Structure 1
């Protein structure tokens, strides 16, 4: 046995192995701010939340940031609230149109 096997010399910097993350496990980045804004905005202005949610989903796909669930929730909640608003508006307008004398106090 020789001493060189027991105490190996360090490799020069060019020959040292490169330690990287395993393939398929990208480094997690921060949260996508637009996804957070979209989620909050969808409770106040549905169409704004929908638009920002789609933009955030596109950015998350490109950058790998966190927040896909928030952006998806913003889009879904935005569409649901927009649809409910349209349905309620149609019902109110149809009710008023069916009974014009009840709601109109003319002189």
Structure 2
């Protein structure tokens, strides 16, 4: 006996399984981790919430985006603080 075609499945009411795609916010979180890390943090948290609600894929991408965004934000703040301290220490002296 041959297998039923797609149209036979459709007539009998069998639905094709829906495959959940990757969450767009998760992808953007990873991209923005390298471009503008504070935005990557926000997008990563939004993605995690959407993934929990919808069951989409991309939880690993959102996690990676969050981790990298936090690391780059912290490194950026440390770098800014070092530049600020260096600029203040090279100020003119009245000696």
Residue 57 of structure 2 corresponds to residue 66 of structure 1: yes
Structure 1 length as normaliser, TM-score? 0.66
The aligned residue for residue 37 of structure 2 is 46
**How many residue pairs align between the two structures?**
76
Structure 2 unmatched runs, 5+ = 1-17
The aligned residue for residue 68 of structure 2 is 77
SS in structure 2 at match of 1:65? coil
Conserved 8 A contact 1:30-1:65: yes
The aligned residue for residue 37 of structure 1 is 28
Report the structure number with the largest CA radius of gyration.
Answer: 1
Structure 1 runs of 4+ aligned residues shifted over 4 Å read none
Conserved 8 A contact 1:29-1:65: yes
Conserved 8 A contact 1:46-1:78: yes
> Quick check: which one's helix share is greater?
2
Give the alignment's Cα RMSD to 1 decimal: 1.6
Structure 2 length as normaliser, TM-score? 0.73
Structure 1 unmatched runs, 5+ = 1-26, 102-107
